[in-house]
Every structure is written in structure tokens, then in C-alpha cells.
Amino acid sequence: MAHQFTRRDFLRTSTAASLGIAAGSTLLTGCAEAAARLGNANMVGYNPPPMDLIKVGFVGMGNMGSGHVNNLLKIEGCRIAAVCDIRPERVKWAKERVVAAGFPEPAGYTGGDLEFERMCAQEDLDLVYNAAPWRWHTPICLAAMKNGKHAASEVNIALSVEDCWKLVEMSEKTKKHCVMQENCCYDQTEMVALNMIRQGLFGEIMHGECGYLHDLRGLKIHPTYYQGMWRLYQSIHRNGNLYPTHGIGPMAWCMDINRGDAFDTLVSMCTKSVGLNEFAARHYETATSDKDKEFYAKWRDQKYTLGDVNITLIKTKKGKTIICKHDTNLPRPYSRDFLVQGSRGLLRKYPTEVVHIEGLTQGHNWEEMNSYKDKYEHPVWKAIKEKAKGAGHGGMDFIEDYRLITALRKGICPDIDVYDSVAWSAIIPLSEESISKGSTPVKFPDFTRGAWKNIRPLGVSQWL
């Protein structure tokens, strides 16, 4: 859902988030906080009643949302029954897409930031799926579950520790799944790595490296790409690891996080901010119109809080380590810096896909992954890749949507549950807290209240 995101809006929500962080981390941290929260982790492995048809209400038909709408129209047993966006033209687009695909015209909700609440209350839906700007993800999911619908959200699902807890407690109270749709978990190479790990090629997993390293300067400093330039305002007002889940989601799967292990402690640090100012200054110098010069002059002189490179270090309960990076304000090729290392070898994805496995790889060399990708292609990827051809990000966007809809239809717990969703997203506020305290260690809340100790299979390895 798009909206005009103002500085006042940001300060109001970020101040509330900061208060939530302070309350959650200073007064009650880690196990103490978990013990103080009501309820129990009753959504771990929870299988909902199966349904033949999943009626979806979709909120936010922007850059990612439009792709998800197109995916859902191709998945058997799924019907988009309602659409919501602040922009009437996007609601009109979605309605036309649904009708063109041979389905009844969905109900439309538009015109205000809170129209999703009306949709959730009025429509007969099974799932509310949203690809809104970040600050709306938690409110939309809460409104969905409060009104008896499962909830799914684009990343990140929450921006504060308190909002993480709200999602957990609402999911447990209503017995509705709350899922963050992390597409990178379903990328081909990450799924090959997961399959190789499950078959013991790397021995005991000890260390991982990951992140989101993507030059977004031209998209952040752009008048229309992020509606209302909402993502640039995050860079102006927040300093931390603001987009961790593309890297940490696949890594958490590889390390059995919440399935025998859990995140324990985090330390985060950032460089100073230079990249966005330099980018705007160069475009100001080359601008050919007064309008463009005025636009770039504003952002050239803006003070940005977000450091250009963030490095966050995470230690798990069982002594594994993770480096998670955020780097979006400097020139660079795209990378998620994916590396997983065990007692018998390691795999790296960027800039080339290579492995080293003791007893198989010659000497101390790397070898290309090609032969391993063929041999260890994940069963899920193998089963769905033909259906996913042509979908966003090489097909992984379709696979994540297909898996969610199929799980709800079969009455099976989705691959990513509410505890995964909030654990991965909590890195954002915890990294901000660590930086604000001079890069001191910060404890992760235990959103599972101890249920992480129970070894259980990852859903994506159990069914097709």
C-alpha cells in the first residue's frame, strides 16, 4: 500500500518504536522478557484446518506487490477476493488483472491509509497478504489476525521489539499464522546449500556470512520509485541493519534457528554516512533543469543517520557465529554475501558460486558448484521450477507464494512461522540499540519462550 510518508509520520512511529525498544531491552531482556509475556508458543508446528480455496485480500500493489498479485493468479486453489491500495489507479490495475485471469472482480478499497482495516473487517477472507511500505507491515498483519484471517507480509515484518511481541501474541491468541514472505530462502543456490547441509557434506555448521549489499542510491533518491520516498526517510532517521532478512532468513534455515538453536547475542556497528550526499551532489552538478537541480540540492545537503556500511555480529545459543551486513548507499555490484561454513567444508555464493569440501576438493582450492547444483538440487526447487519460470527474482518469488498457499490449503504449518518472522526482523531494532550504546552486546528476546530447544524438521524439507 502506498502513502505519502512525511517526516512527522516517521518521527511519530520511530519514537514509539524507540520507546518499545527501550522498554523491551532495558527492563526485560532475553529469557526474563519471554517469561513475562503471556501465553505459550502454541503456533510452533501448528497445522491449521485445511481449505480447498484460499480467498486472499491483497494490500499494496507497488513494486513487489504487483509481482505477488500476478503469482497468486497462477496458483491453483487461490482467488484474490479483495485489493487495497491508497492509489485508486493501482486498485483499478489489480481488479483488471484478476478479471483478465478469469476470476470474479475483487472488492476494492482505496483512498486512505487505514482502508486495510475496513477490508479486514468486512471481507470474507482466509489470508491477508501485504506488500506495503515497512511501517505498515505490523498494523496490517495485526488487523488481519484480529479479524480471523491468516497474515502474510513482505519483509521486514516488524521494526520494533514490541511489535514483534504483538505479532507473536496475536498469532497465538487467534490461532492464525503470521508469515513473513522471505523470497531469498527459496533461491536456487541457497536451497542447494540447505540440501547439502542436510546430507552432511559440510559436517557440523559453525559459521555463516550473509547480508543485503545492493546499491540503492538511485532508487532512494528518486521522486517516485518508493512512493513518498519512504525508504529514503529510513536512511535519514535510523542507523542500524535495516534490511537483514534476505541474508539471515536462508542462514537461519541452514543453522536450525528456532529448531534446536536460537539467536542469543548481537553486536552491531556502522561506518559514517557519505554515499547518499555524494550521489546527490554529483547529480546536482550534471542536472540540466532547474527542477532537477532543486531536487538534488535538497538531498545533497540532507543529514543522513544511516551509516553506509553496517556490520552485525550474531552468536547463537549453541555457539555458532554469523556476520550479517547492510550496504545500500555505496557503489557496488549486488550481493547477499552468502557463505556457510562447517567442520568439513564451506560454500560461497558471491561473486562466484564455489565450494570446498574436505576429501572431495583437491588441496586447498575452491571448486565450482555446477556439478553439486545438479546433484543436490533441492526437491522443492525441482518440483516447482517449471511453474516458477518467468516469475520475479529468477522464480523464487513464485515458489514462496506457491508454498504458502499450498500449506494453507493442505492444513500444514507454513515453512516460515511467526517465530521465524520476528526473530529475523528483530535484528533491525536490536542493531539500532547496540549502535546507540557504543556497539555493546544486546540479547535477543526469546519469542518462542524456550520452544527453540525442541529439535524439529524445517517444513520446506518435509513436503512438496
Q: Is 38 buried (19+), middle (13-18) or exposed (0-12) by CB count in 10 A?
A: exposed
Q: How confident is the model at residue 461 (pLDDT cuts 50, 70, 90)?
A: confident
Q: Does residue 139 sit in the same domain as residue 24? A: yes
Q: Is 330 buried (19+), middle (13-18) or exposed (0-12) by CB count in 10 A?
A: middle
Which residues form the domain of 145? 20-182
Dihedrals φ, ψ of 264, to 5°? -115, -60
57, part of any domain: yes
Can you give the pLDDT at residue 247? 98
Q: Does residue 83 sit in the same domain as residue 113? A: yes
Distances (CA, A) of 70 to 61, 97, 141: 10, 8, 21
Average pLDDT of the chain to the nearest whole number: 93
Higher pLDDT, 358 or 38: 358
Amino acid type, 196 = M
Q: Does residue 210 sit in the same domain as residue 268? A: yes
Q: Is the pTM of this model over 0.85?
A: yes
Can you give the pLDDT at residue 462? 76
CATH at 27:
3.40.50.720
Higher pLDDT, 423 or 14: 423
Distance (Å, whole) CA 17 – CA 443? 17
End position of a domain, from candidates 182, 207, 229: 182
297, part of any domain: no
pLDDT per position as a tens digit, 291-305: 999 999 999 999 999
Q: Does residue 140 sit in the same domain as residue 238? A: no
Higher pLDDT, 7 or 383: 383
CATH at 335:
3.30.360.10
The pLDDT of 426-432, averaged and rounded, is: 98
Distances (CA, A) of 137 to 13, 22, 127, 188, 232: 13, 21, 14, 27, 17
pLDDT per position as a tens digit, 138-153: 999 999 999 999 999 9
Q: Does residue 214 sit in the same domain as residue 363? A: yes
pLDDT exceeds 70 at position 17: no
Q: Does residue 42 sit in the same domain as residue 120? A: yes
Q: Does residue 159 sit in the same domain as residue 54? A: yes
256, part of any domain: yes
Can you give the pLDDT at residue 37? 76
Can you give the pLDDT at residue 158? 98
In this structure, what C-alpha cell is assigned to residue 294? 532543486
332, part of any domain: yes
Q: How confident is the model at residue 29 (pLDDT cuts 50, 70, 90)?
A: low
End position of a domain, from candidates 182, 216, 237: 182
366: nearest Cα among 378, 377, 352, 380: 352
222, part of any domain: yes
405, part of any domain: no
* Number of folded domains that form the chain: 2
Q: How confident is the model at residue 2 (pLDDT cuts 50, 70, 90)?
A: very low
Can you give the pLDDT at residue 227? 87
Q: Does residue 222 sit in the same domain as residue 364? A: yes
Distance (Å, whole) CA 151 – CA 129? 6
131, part of any domain: yes
End position of a domain, from candidates 167, 182, 197: 182
pLDDT exceeds 70 at position 124: yes
Q: Does residue 147 sit in the same domain as residue 199? A: no
pLDDT per position as a tens digit, 337-380: 999 999 999 999 999 999 999 999 999 999 999 989 999 999 99
Q: Does residue 161 sit in the same domain as residue 266? A: no
399, part of any domain: no
Give the burial string for 199-236 (b: 16+ CB within 10 Å, else e): eebbeebbebbbbbbbbbbeebbeeeebbbbbbbbbbb
pLDDT exceeds 50 at position 19: no
CB 412 within 8 A of CB 232: no
pLDDT exceeds 70 at position 277: yes
Higher pLDDT, 13 or 214: 214
Q: Does residue 206 sit in the same domain as residue 113? A: no
Cα Rg of the chain, angstroms: 22
Q: Does residue 251 sit in the same domain as residue 107? A: no
Which H or E run contains 315?
A: strand 309-316
pLDDT per position as a tens digit, 82-116: 999 999 999 999 999 999 999 999 999 999 999 99
Helices (H), 358-438: 370-375, 379-388, 396-410, 418-425, 427-436
pLDDT per position as a tens digit, 165-192: 999 999 999 999 999 999 999 999 999 9
